[in-house]
Chains A and B, each alone.
Chain A
Amino acid sequence: MRIVHVRGGVRLNGRKRRAERGRITSLPIPAYLNVPLKQHIGAPAEPVVRVGEHVLKGQLLGRPPGPMSAPVHAPTSGRVIAIGAAPAPHPSGLDTPTITVQSDGEEQWIELAPPIDPLALDAAAIEERIADAGVVGLGGAAFPAAVKLRLRTRHPIHTLIVNGAECEPYLTCDDRLMQERAEEIIDGVRIMLRALEQDRSGPSIRALIAIENNKGDALAALKKAASAHPGIATIAVPTRYPMGSEKHLIRAVTGKEVPARALAPEIGVLVHNVGTAFAIHRALRFGKPLISRIVTLSGGAVASPQNFEVLIGTPVSALLRAAGGLRQPPARLLMGGPMMGAMLPHAEVPIVKGTSGILALTSAEIAARPAAPCIRCGTCVAVCPCGLVPVEMVSQIRGGRLEGALRFGLLDCVGCGTCAYSCPSRIPLLQYLNFAKGELTARERTKHKAEEARRLAERRRLRLAQQAEARAATATARPRQQHRHPEGSEATGAPDRTTNPQVAA
C-alpha cells in the first residue's frame, strides 16, 4: 500500500531504547488507589459507593450520568476511604473529584459475566459492553470508545485504522503491547469490525494497523497475528512526528484529509488506538472492565526504565518506588510524551486511563534555554503539519490581537508542538497558542455570561413593571386593601417576588 506524504512534521530522536527491551511487568498492588471520576472527555461519573463501603475488584465506583461519559471501576478489592477532591494529574495542580480505595491485598474479583462469543453479538450489545467496561481511547485523549464506535450510525465507515504509530519520544507502551499481545489486539480489532459491519451492505470494512517503521518487532508480531484474517492488514508508516495524530495518520494511510473542524468518521474513517483494541478484547472476552493499562516509565532520572501494567489510580509516587526509584531528582516530571504530555507538579497524582507514560527527565535531556528574538526564519512554517503560520499567529497574540490569531487559523492548530520544538530562537510558540486558545474560550464564557445577565436583567425589569402596574390597578380598584400581598406570594422564592416593603423587615 502506498503511503501518502504528509506535509510538515519533524524527525525526532526517539529515545525509546532504554525502555523498549524489558517485558511488561505487573506492579505490586499499592496501599491505596485514587480513582478520579473524570478520566475521559465528557461528563464526570457519579459515585455509586459510599465511604466505608467494601468494594470488589472490578466493581462499579462511578456511573456515567449521560451518554457522553464513562464509568469508573474499582481497580482492586478494598475499602472506600474517601470520596472527595484530590490532586489531578494536571499541570495546574488543581483537585478533581476522586474516590480513594484502600486495598485489602486480596485481589478479590467481583463476579464476572459468563464468557460469551463476542463475535456472535450484535453491534448494540458490543457497544453496550464496551461502554459498561469504561473503555476510553488509550492513546491519550480518552474519548469514550463506545461513543466513537456508535458514530457508525451517523456516518458510513469504510476504514478502521488502528493507531500503533506511537510517535512521541520515550514512549514504548504500545510497542511492547503489540509485541507481547498481538493476538489479543487482533481479537479486539475483529470485535470492533464486527460492530462496525452490522447492517452494512456493500464492501466490507478494512482494518489497517498503522505502525511507525521504527518498530520492526511490533510490526512483525501484528503481521503474523493478522495473517489469518483477510480483512486486517498492517501498514508501516514513516517515523515522523506527529504521525500518531489522528488526522495526519489518516492522511498518510488513506490519502484523505479530514476537513478542518470535522470528525474523522465524516469521511468514513474510524481511528482507535492499539491499547483500546486490547481493552475491548478484555472487556468482551472476559467481561473485565478497564482497571489497568500499560504505562512506560522512562527518562534519564529513572533507575530502570520499563513498561508496567499499572492499576488505574496508582499514585505516580508508588510507581516510581516500585520501579526502583530515581537515580537523581528529576528536572521535570510529566505524564505522557515530552512533546504533548502534561507536566506534573508532584508525584502524588494518580495514573489514569489516558496515561501512556511517566517520564522523569533530567535537565540535560530537556536542554531548557532562554528565548531569543524571532528572526522570522520560517522554520515553524515549514514544519507545521497543519499548514499554519505559527510565527504570524504568535506575533498577533503577543500584540494582544487574539482575533487576528483566529483569522490565521488558531483553531486549526492541533497543539503538537512541532513549531516550538523546531524554533531556533526557543520561543515557546505552543504556549502562546495554548494561552490564546484558553483566553479566547474564557472570553467566550464571559460573553455568554454577559448575555445571560442581560436577559435576566431585562426579565426583572419587565416583572417589576408588571408588578407596579398590577399594584396600581389594585390600588385603583380596591383602595383600602393596598397593603395586601399580590397574588402568588412569598415562600416560593425568585420567580415570584414581591416588592412589598413590609416583607423586608
Chain B
Amino acid sequence: MFAAVFCLTLLGGALGLLLAVAAQRLKVNDDPLAAEIEALLPGSQCGQCGYPGCGAGAIAIAAGEAPVTLCPPGGRALAQRLASTLGIELDLSQVADGAPMVAVAREDICTGCTRCRKICPTDAILGAPRQLHAIIRDACTGCGRCVEVCPTESLALHPVAVTLETWYWPRPQLPI
C-alpha cells in the first residue's frame, strides 16, 4: 500500500511539474494575435466593420467579439484566411460575398468638388478641383466612403467586371 501511495504521489508530482513548465514555456499572449489579424486586414481604415479602423477591428476579432466575416472589402477570401488563422470553422455559404466592388464616377454629373478625393483612404481618386475625377481601379477597395460624401451622386459602387482572364468555371451545383 505504501508503494502504491508513493508511486501515485510521485506520478502526480511529476505530471504537475510538467504542466507548470508547459504553461510557462508555451504561453500565448493575446497581443500577437491581434497584431497578426491586423496584418491580414486591408488596412484602409474604412470603418465599414463598425469599428474605428482596422486595428480596433482586429482587437475585436481577437477577443471573439466580432465575427471573421466583418470586413466587406476583404470579402470571402479574407474571412477564410482569418478563420484559418484563428483555427475556427467557417461556413462559406453564409458569407454574403457580393462580388468585389469598385467605385465608378459618372462623368456627366461630377462637379469636380474633390471631396471624394480627400476622403479616399487609399488615394485611389485622381483629379483636381473642378475637373473630372478618375478612379484607379486597382487601388480602389470598394469601401464606399466616397459614395457617401459625393454631393451629386455621381459616384456609385459597381461590381468588378469579369474578363476573359479572370473568368473561371463556377463550382458544380450538385445535390450530392
Indicate whether A494 sits within 8 Å of B168 (C-beta atoms), given known contacts A450-B73, A504-B118: no
Q: Which of A111-119, A139-147, A452-460 contacts B (4 or more CB under 8 A)?
A: A452-460
Chain B residues near A452 (CB-CB < 8 A): 138-139
Indicate whether A450 sits within 8 Å of B74 (C-beta atoms), given known contacts A94-B163, A96-B164: yes
Are B138 and A435 closer than 8 Å at their CB atoms?
Answer: no
Q: How near does chain A come to B92, taking the closest CB pair, in angstroms?
A: 5
Q: How far is the CA of A111 from the CA of B118 in the complex (A)?
A: 57
Chain B residues near A499 (CB-CB < 8 A): 118
B: which residues have CB within 8 A of A?
A: 41-45, 73-75, 77-78, 80-81, 84, 90, 92, 100, 113-115, 117-118, 121-129, 138-139, 141, 162-164, 166-172, 174, 176
The answer to whether the Cβ of A90 comes within 8 Å of any Cβ in the partner chain is yes
Indicate whether A432 sits within 8 Å of B167 (C-beta atoms), given known contacts A452-B138, A493-B127: no
Q: How near does chain B come to A426, taking the closest CB pair, in angstroms?
A: 10
Are A428 and B172 closer than 8 Å at their CB atoms?
Answer: yes
Chain B residues near A497 (CB-CB < 8 A): 117-118
> Which residue on chain B has the smallest CB distance to residue A501?
B118
Q: Which of A371, A431, A446, A453 contacts B44 (CB 8 A)?
A: A453
Indicate whether A453 sits within 8 Å of B43 (C-beta atoms), given known contacts A431-B172, A497-B117, A499-B118: yes
Chain A residues near B162 (CB-CB < 8 A): 92, 94
> Which residue on chain B has the smallest CB distance to residue A459?
B123
> Which residue on chain A has the smallest CB distance to residue B46?
A457
Q: How far is the CA of A431 from the CA of B43 in the complex (A)?
A: 35
Are B170 and A454 closer than 8 Å at their CB atoms?
Answer: no
Q: How far is the CA of A460 from the CA of B115 in the complex (A)?
A: 15
> Which residue on chain B has the smallest CB distance to residue A435?
B171
Q: How far is the CA of A403 from the CA of B44 in the complex (A)?
A: 27
Q: Which of A92, A374, A443, A461 contacts B164 (CB 8 A)?
A: A92
Are A435 and B169 closer than 8 Å at their CB atoms?
Answer: yes
Chain B residues near A372 (CB-CB < 8 A): 176
Q: How far is the CA of A146 from the CA of B170 in the complex (A)?
A: 35
Q: How far is the CA of A490 from the CA of B114 in the complex (A)?
A: 11
The answer to whether the Cβ of A318 comes within 8 Å of any Cβ in the partner chain is no
Max chain B C-beta neighbours (<10 A), residue from A88, A90, A94, A491 = A94
Q: How near does chain A come to B173, taking the closest CB pair, in angstroms?
A: 10
Q: Which of A90, A374, A403, A450 contacts B141 (CB 8 A)?
A: A450
SS class, residues of chain A in contact with chain B: helix
Q: Which of A90, A373, A437, A443 contacts B176 (CB 8 A)?
A: A373
> Which residue on chain A has the smallest CB distance to residue B43?
A454
The answer to whether the Cβ of A65 comes within 8 Å of any Cβ in the partner chain is no
Are A435 and B170 closer than 8 Å at their CB atoms?
Answer: yes
> Which residue on chain B has the smallest CB distance to residue A437?
B168
Are A439 and B92 closer than 8 Å at their CB atoms?
Answer: no
Instruction: Encode contact with B along A479-501: 1 for CB under 8 Å, 0 otherwise.
Output: 00000000000111110010100
Chain B residues near A373 (CB-CB < 8 A): 176
Are A432 and B172 closer than 8 Å at their CB atoms?
Answer: yes
The answer to whether the Cβ of A400 comes within 8 Å of any Cβ in the partner chain is yes
Q: With A442-B168, A452-B138 given, can you name 18 additional A-B contacts, CB distance below 8 Å? A: A92-B167, A371-B174, A372-B176, A428-B174, A431-B172, A435-B169, A435-B170, A438-B168, A443-B80, A446-B75, A450-B41, A450-B74, A453-B44, A453-B121, A453-B122, A453-B141, A459-B123, A490-B129
Are B168 and A435 closer than 8 Å at their CB atoms?
Answer: yes
A: which residues have CB within 8 A of B?
A: 88, 90-92, 94, 96, 371-374, 397, 400, 403, 427-428, 431-432, 434-435, 437-439, 441-443, 445-447, 449-450, 452-454, 456-461, 490-494, 497, 499, 503-504
Q: How near does chain B come to A28, taking the closest CB pair, in angstroms?
A: 30
Are B166 and A442 closer than 8 Å at their CB atoms?
Answer: yes
Q: How far is the CA of A447 from the CA of B76 in the complex (A)?
A: 11
> Which residue on chain B has the smallest CB distance to residue A90?
B164
Are B78 and A456 closer than 8 Å at their CB atoms?
Answer: no
Chain A residues near B45 (CB-CB < 8 A): 457, 461
> Which residue on chain A has the smallest CB distance to residue B128?
A491
Q: How far is the CA of A397 from the CA of B166 in the complex (A)?
A: 19
Q: How near does chain B come to A374, taking the closest CB pair, in angstroms?
A: 8
Are B164 and A94 closer than 8 Å at their CB atoms?
Answer: yes
A-B contact pairs, 12 of them (CB 8 A): A90-B167, A92-B164, A94-B163, A373-B176, A441-B166, A442-B77, A447-B81, A453-B73, A491-B128, A494-B117, A494-B126, A503-B129
Q: How far is the CA of A415 from the CA of B164 in the complex (A)?
A: 18
> Which residue on chain A has the smallest CB distance to residue B139?
A456
Q: How near does chain B come to A393, taking the closest CB pair, in angstroms?
A: 14
Max chain B C-beta neighbours (<10 A), residue from A443, A493, A503 = A493
Are A88 and B164 closer than 8 Å at their CB atoms?
Answer: yes
Are A460 and B121 closer than 8 Å at their CB atoms?
Answer: yes
Chain A residues near B100 (CB-CB < 8 A): 446
Indicate whether A453 sits within 8 Å of B139 (C-beta atoms), given known contacts A445-B166, A503-B129: yes
Indicate whether A456 sits within 8 Å of B123 (C-beta atoms), given known contacts A92-B164, A450-B74, A450-B141: yes
> Which residue on chain B has the smallest CB distance to residue A499?
B118
Closest 10 A/B residue pairs (Cβ): A438-B168, A454-B43, A456-B122, A443-B77, A92-B167, A457-B44, A450-B42, A446-B77, A453-B141, A428-B172
Q: How far is the CA of A88 from the CA of B162 in the complex (A)?
A: 14
Chain A residues near B125 (CB-CB < 8 A): 494
